[in-house]
Structure formats: structure tokens, C-alpha cells
């Protein structure tokens, strides 16, 4: 125990020294600045996501960072090259987070998180993703929308026993109350301006091989899931990804317990399985996925190595 405390104290001292040297302020000033800046917090979460993802995979794979900025045309747009060794073909991995305001966005609440949503609107949204809940035994099989709505009411009552469905269009629940026990997991491919040869708002499906998503924002713990890009449906523009993918739900019956989650079957918690699927698809010379990156074609970011 004492050794653990000593290690923690040492790490804290290193952090204090880094903040003072890098930012020329005391830690309490740094902390207040971070707390006042959601953008800064998002940047830190993004950096942690990439770091933790790399550490998660490195036990079984060679993971090499792709530089953000290139001299000349940028040929590879993902975050990492992932391979089974330095002389093996590499596959491009892109890491993403979740849309923080997914519930407001999906339920159309212009008043923000404190705005009340009708239960009927909530039921309609859940119904559109009924198969996800069904595949995880949260609702039974239904033969009609009427049956689905009844089962979804039962599901919601398990989480929110005080809900009143007698007049669902008038009686509602605020987003703040909803997200204490039920959250939407929605990926977010941020709109981007022209970068290298890319001119569209969302990435082309041929830019990456695998997408990783960190569920941290909604689960309040770091959990990574993966999907081969070939499984992700196209967006409005042919050959390009959507801006948002509905991944699944996080839910809990008590605010004192951690969130459980259920996912669309596009996504997997096993990177090895997804890697093998991508490798097989590439070896078939499929036009739906880019070729593997040869060792000599990699442009590795050597900073920090």
C-alpha cells in the first residue's frame, strides 16, 4: 500500500512539474482553465483515447502512429497503422469518440438537456432501434409496432418506474433525467475541410480499414469497440461514411451502478476478430476496401519514440 502511495505521489509531482514548465502556471490555474473549456476537455479525452487504444492493442499488434501533417499530399488519413509485425502489411485504424449531445440531437429537443421530451417521441426513437434491444434480450420479439411500443414501455418502466404512459404525448421526461439511466451511443465523424486529396465533409470508406470507438463519454469508463469499414453503411454521398452511426444504448436501473450497454451487431469488442475479417477481405482484392499498406509505404510519426 505504501509503495502504491509513493508511486502516486511521484506521478503527481511529475504532473505538477510538467504543468509549470510547459504552461508557466500553477496547477490550480491550469485546472480552472480546463474546467472552463469544454473544447480543452474534449482535446484531452481525444488524446487519452488514442493513447489508451494504442496501449490496448500493443500486446498483440504493432501499432504505429500516422502523422497528422505531411509534407506534400497526405496519403493515409487514419490515426494508426496496425500490423502483426514490422515486415507485415499494415491496416489503417481510425479512432473516434461518441456524440456528447446524442439524446438532444436524436430527440429534437431545441430547448437543450433541460427540455422535456414526450414519451411518445422517445418510444418512436427506441422503436427504430428495436433490433438492438431485442438481440440483447431487453425486449421480446414483437409482431407489430403496437406490440413493440408496449414492450418498450415495459423496458422504460424498469428504468423509470414513475413514468406515466396514460397520456404519453403530454407527459414527458427531461433529457437530464433520461440520461441518468438511459443514453444513446452515437458515433461522430466530424465535418472536416479539405485535407490533402479529400474534399468531402465525411471520410471516404476507402480511407480506413478499421474504426475504433471509445464509449467513455457515455459509459464513464474507457471501453473500445471496433468495426471493419466495410460493415459501415454509406452516407448520402456514395462511397463515403455517414456523419453519425447509431451504435447502441447504455442503461442502468440504479444511478449507483455502472452503465451496461448493448450494441448493434456491426460492432465488436474483439479487435483480433475484426482484424482477421479485414485481412480476409483485403486478400480477396475487394473493391469495397483499400489495399493493405506495405511496410515501405508507411509514413510513421517518430515523435516521442
Terminal CA-CA length for the chain: 32
Least confident of 22-36, 152-166, 174-188, 291-305: 291-305
The DSSP output letter for 257 is S
- Beta strand 91-96 with 210-214: parallel, antiparallel or unpaired? parallel
Q: What are 155-170's pLDDT values in tens digits? A: 999 999 999 888 766 6
* pTM value surpassing 0.85: yes
Q: Which of 245, 283, 237, 287 is nearest to 264 (CA)?
A: 245
Residue 262 backbone dihedrals phi, psi, to 5 degrees: -135, 140
pLDDT digits (tens, 9 = 90+) for 254-296: 999 999 999 999 999 999 999 999 999 999 887 778 999 999 9
Rounded to an integer, the average pLDDT of 95-122 is 84
Structure confidence at residue 118 as a pLDDT band (50, 70, 90): confident
Specify the pLDDT at position 198: 46
Distance CA 59, CA 57 (A): 6
What is the tens place of the pLDDT at every residue in 186-215? 998 765 444 444 454 678 888 999 999 999
**Beta bridge mates, 201:** none
The structural domains of the chain, with segments of one domain joined by +, span 37-99+187-297, 102-183
Amino acid at each position: 500500500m505504501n509503495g502504491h502511495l509513493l508511486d502516486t505521489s511521484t506521478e503527481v509531482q511529475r504532473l505538477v512539474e510538467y504543468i509549470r514548465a510547459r504552461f508557466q502556471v500553477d496547477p490550480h490555474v491550469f485546472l480552472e482553465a480546463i474546467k472552463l473549456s469544454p473544447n480543452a476537455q474534449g482535446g484531452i479525452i481525444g488524446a487519452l483515447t488514442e493513447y489508451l487504444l494504442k496501449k490496448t492493442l500493443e500486446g498483440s499488434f504493432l501499432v504505429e502512429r500516422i502523422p497528422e501533417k505531411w509534407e506534400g499530399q497526405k496519403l493515409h488519413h487514419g490515426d494508426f497503422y496496425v500490423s502483426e509485425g514490422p515486415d507485415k502489411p499494415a491496416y489503417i485504424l481510425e479512432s473516434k469518440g461518441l456524440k456528447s449531445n446524442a439524446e438532444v440531437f436524436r430527440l429534437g429537443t431545441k430547448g437543450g438537456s433541460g427540455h422535456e421530451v414526450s414519451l411518445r417521441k422517445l418510444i418512436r426513437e427506441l422503436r427504430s432501434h428495436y433490433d438492438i434491444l431485442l438481440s440483447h434480450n431487453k425486449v421480446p420479439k414483437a409482431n407489430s409496432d403496437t406490440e413493440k411500443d408496449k414492450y418498450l414501455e415495459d423496458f422504460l418502466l424498469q428504468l423509470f418506474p414513475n413514468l406515466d404512459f396514460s397520456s404519453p404525448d403530454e407527459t414527458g421526461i427531461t433529457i437530464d433525467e433520461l440520461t441518468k439511466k438511459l443514453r444513446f451511443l452515437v458515433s461522430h465523424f466530424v465535418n472536416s475541410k479539405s485535407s490533402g486529396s479529400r474534399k468531402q465533409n465525411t471520410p471516404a470508406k476507402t480511407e480506413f480499414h478499421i474504426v475504433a470507438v471509445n464509449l467513455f463519454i457515455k459509459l464513464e469508463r474507457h471501453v473500445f469497440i471496433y468495426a471493419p469499414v466495410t460493415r459501415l453503411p454509406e452516407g448520402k454521398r456514395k462511397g463515403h461514411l455517414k456523419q453519425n452511426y447509431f451504435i447502441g444504448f447504455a442503461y442502468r436501473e440504479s444511478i449507483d451502478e455502472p452503465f451496461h450497454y448493448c450494441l448493434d451487431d456491426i460492432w465488436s469488442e474483439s479487435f483480433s476478430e475484426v482484424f482477421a475479417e479485414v485481412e480476409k477481405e483485403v486478400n480477396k482484392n475487394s473493391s469495397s476496401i483499400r489495399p493493405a499498406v506495405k511496410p515501405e509505404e508507411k509514413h510513421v510519426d517518430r515523435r516521442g519514440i
